Amino acid sequence: AQSVAQPEDQVNVAEGNPLTVKCTYSVSGNPYLFWYVQYPNRGLQFLLKYITGDNLVKGSYGFEAEFNKSQTSFHLKKPSALVSDSALYFCAVRDGTNDYKLSFGAGTTVTVRA
């Protein structure tokens, strides 16, 4: 069975400081990993994905994520957070050697204070 864990319910940072949102995963095959963001009263938006290749993936809005196979992690990062980054962030995983089942984590609420 595949699963995703986001160990932090909330992350609070000051504007201009680095932002990290943690994610660990479990799959039996090769992982396909994703980050999505949900802004208040809006749908989910795709940020970035890792399928294969370079372990550092760059995505939308200045976000990036690092795939670490040995630690089964895929943490989301942004060097300098903005107040507008305040939102709910979801990590998701799919077993790349299996079917299209895509599982999400419980989400992490990010609050960036001015």
Partner 1 sequence: DGGITQSPKYLFRKEGQNVTLSCEQNLNHDAMYWYRQDPGQGLRLIYYSQIVNDFQKGDIAEGYSVSREKKESFPLTVTSAQKNPTAFYLCASTGSVGKLFFGSGTQLSVL
> Which stretches of the chain bind partner 1, using CB under 8 A?
6, 9, 32, 34, 36, 43-46, 49, 51, 90, 92, 94, 96, 99-107
| Nearest distance from C-beta of residue 108 to partner 1, angstroms | 10
Nearer to partner 1, 9 or 70 (CB): 9
Residue tagged 């090769």 (tokens): 30
Number of neighbouring beta carbons within 10 Å of residue 67: 20
For residues 77 and 56, what is the distance between their CA atoms, to the nearest angstrom?
A: 10
Nearer to partner 1, 83 or 106 (CB): 106
DSSP 2: -
For residues 10 and 108, what is the distance between their CA atoms, to the nearest angstrom?
A: 5
| Nearest distance from C-beta of residue 93 to partner 1, angstroms | 10
